[in-house]
Structure 1
Amino acid sequence: MKPREVSVLKGLLRRKGIPQKSWARVVAGIIGGTPKTAARRLTDESILSLQELFAIADHFGTTVTALLQADFPEERQIPGTRKAVLHVGGGKWPCTVVTRKAASGRSDLFVAYEQGTDGQLVVCQAGDAPPGSKLEGVLSFHVDAFGTAGPLVVVLDDEETATLPLCRFLRIDAGFDAQYFKEPEGVLALLQSEPRPDAYILDWTLSRGRTSRSVIEAIRTVDAASPIVLLTGTIQSREKNESEIADLVRTHRIDVCVKPFPASIVAEKLKSMLDRQAQLPHVDRAPAA
């Protein structure tokens, strides 16, 4: 799915009656850079930074929140199939599966069952299913040829009901190994072990009136380079939250995603950030001494 911010920007330019041939020049004048660079970003629909969103909102006399409040298209799935993970011989691969409504029988070579609190669907050989699992017979499955457990992504959000679908999308559809935490203490403990996570998704507002600021600072103390995406629904006015988040963006090189959003937007942000990091071999994940 295309990054939503640039799509919204294009719609805003149209509503303002700005000719399409002038878009690159106008955007370059707002966010900086050359018209050629702006034209390439409009074509590629690369993700806008928080500072760029602020500049666009100021230029058109609106707010970041209003700028991003368009409806999202629904994420679609082929009818009759379900996303799952195939577990065979110690390996794990994303796949799509069709199961029977009836329970598994002796003739089934492969079965499916739900695993974990997020209800991830797992496909395995019949004899490998955990005892006591509610099994479904597998009619067919298709392995995503290039699927992989992928980079480890830590997700921190105290709203479990809203966050588990995001984790499931990251794990099944986007190919990440997503690990969910409801409280910051779990993330902080993980930072003391090796190997450390490859990326982090942190909700800004946590339980008991806390924010993710201390978690971001702890991550950057031990890891100077791994991508951090901050989820927030608190940017409503140019006051405390917005200033504090903007400061974190500048100081700790994080990206921001304003709620609500489809899971695919966060996945694309992570992939883009990890790709950029891979192209910079001089960047050390360890903090500066």
Structure 2
Amino acid sequence: MFLPMTGNESSARVGGDERPKHAELTEQAIRFALAQKGVASASHANALAETFNITPSQVRRKLRFGIWTLQELLVLQDRIGVSLSSVLHTSGDSVARSMESGVLLINGQEVECQISPGPVMTAASQAANLACSRHQGRWLISTCGSLEATVPGQLRYAVELLQILDGGSPLRIAVLDDDLPAAESLAMWFSESGYPAMAFSTAQELVSAGIGNFDAFVLDVMLKSGTSYDLIGKIREIDANAVITLLTGKVRGNTPLESEMAEVVRDQKVEFAVKPTSPALLLASILSSVARRRT
């Protein structure tokens, strides 16, 4: 499973609309190749959707944010005639780099992975992104703060591409948010990263789809109908070990909401993340929780 990382160019925030430069150049190369084959501009998304057996909306997201694995680029080369040299633009482009062994450090767990390390990170780029440092012959990947505590004084590099060596069947993820476009955006990101996901705007929709059809749940705490706490109880009745992550805005201290959330996190064994959240960090946290519960 490949995670396209953000580096210094693109937005990793849910709902973000910043566009990396390499994505624009890649889209131009792909559209040019399609035009050379006589495909009308309005039909480009449908043609690519048929090639990769995905939806046109997923294609448009790939084109906008440059979310392509090397294997997909090879398919584009073979079937459409897109030359690799036209899409592997710079040393900062994730698909242009070889993969190296590493360990993702998150939530006290070590998850085996492979990474494509990028350039040395600047102070401005260290706030929210994953970073990696070389230590004892391998790459350690985590937040900059965690790396500073683990390997103080080491250079920190951007993570251009992260491949989790999880094996087995893909994790199935349900995303619940009464802001449906936000839920769909996050679910699409999970799906394009190799983990089938479905978006829901109400708890009833998710229940109707079958709680047992999912292995992990990303739930917005505050819904139009109230909170997602009752849904957590229903999930636990069916699967006591399901990974549940609550999404919440900033919570003020010493408030009823804070106390209520703390009780749910403690009693129901759930994780939580503050919005806006990084999809890459969120997925890494979910995978770490899955690995921890299987040991």
Query: Which residue does the alignment assign to 2:180?
Result: 160
1:258 counterpart = 2:274: yes
Aligned match for 1:219, one of 235, 243, 250: 235
Work out whether 1:120 is the aligned partner of 2:58: yes
Q: Give CA deviations for 1:27-76 in whole Å, capped at 9, x if unaligned.
A: xxxxxxxxxxxxxxxxxxxxxxxxxxxxxxxxxxxxxxxxxxxxx98348
Unpaired runs of at least 5, structure 1: 2-71, 83-96, 124-136, 280-289
Structure number with bigger Rg: 1
Matched-pair contact (CA < 8 Å) for 2:177–2:220: yes
Quick one: which amino acid aligns to residue 178 of structure 1?
Answer: A
How many residues are matched? 176
The aligned residue for residue 43 of structure 1 is none
- Of residues 56, 74, 82, the one that matches 2:11 is 74
Q: 1:230 to 1:141 in 2, by over 3 A?
A: farther
Aligned residue in 2 for 1:185: 204
Distance in 2 (CA, whole Å) between partners of 1:198 and 1:191 is: 11
CA displacement, residues 69-101 of structure 1 (integer Å, 9 cap, x when unaligned): xxx98348643347xxxxxxxxxxxxxx93446
Counterpart selection for 2:217 from 196, 200, 209: 200
User: Distance between the aligned counterparts of 1:245 and 1:263, measured in 2?
Assistant: 22
Query: Quick one: which amino acid aligns to residue 219 of structure 2?
Result: L
Give the whole-Å Cα distance in 2 for the aligned partners of 1:271 and 1:220. 19
Aligned Cα root-mean-square deviation (Å) = 4.0
Inter-partner Cα distance in structure 2 for 1:238 and 1:73: 36
Per-residue CA shift, 1:216-248, capped at 9, x if unaligned?
011001110010000001512321111111111
Return the alpha-carbon distance in structure 1 between the equivalents of residues 228 and 36 of structure 2. Answer: 44
State TM-score, norm by structure 1: 0.51
2:30 is matched by which residue type in structure 1? Answer: V
With over 3 angstroms needed to count, the CA separation of the structure-2 counterparts of 1:232 and 1:242, relative to structure 1, is: same
The aligned counterpart of 1:273 is: 289
* Distance verdict in 2 for CA 1:138–1:196, change over 3 Å: same
Separation (CA, whole Å) in 2 of partners of 1:170 and 1:119: 14
Find the counterpart in structure 1 of residue 30 from structure 2.
98
One-letter amino acid of the structure 2 residue matched with residue 98 of structure 1: I
Q: Structure 1, residues 119-144: CA drift from partner, whole Å, max 9, x if none?
A: 21299xxxxxxxxxxxxx94449999
Take 1:148 and 1:121, find their aligned partners in 2: how far apart are those partners?
26
Q: Percent identity?
A: 26
Give me the whole-angstrom Cα distance separating, in 2, the residues matched to 1:200 and 1:236. 24
Q: Secondary structure at the match of 1:111?
A: helix
The answer on whether the counterparts of 2:174 and 2:187 sit within 8 Å (CA) in structure 1 is: no
Partners of 2:238 and 2:11 in 1: CA distance: 38
**Distance change (3 Å), C-alpha of 1:211 and 1:113:** same
Within the candidate set 170, 179, 188, 1:150 is matched to 170
Q: What one-letter code is carried by the residue in structure 1 that aligns with 2:209?
A: L
Q: Which is bigger in relative contact order (C-alpha 8 A, separation at least 6)?
A: 2
Structure 1 runs of 4+ aligned residues shifted over 6 Å read 141-149
Whole-Å separation in 1 of the counterparts to 2:224 and 2:217: 18
Matches of 2:217 and 2:229 in 1, distance apart? 13
Residue of structure 2 in register with 1:238 after alignment: 254
Question: TM-score scaled by structure 2?
Answer: 0.50
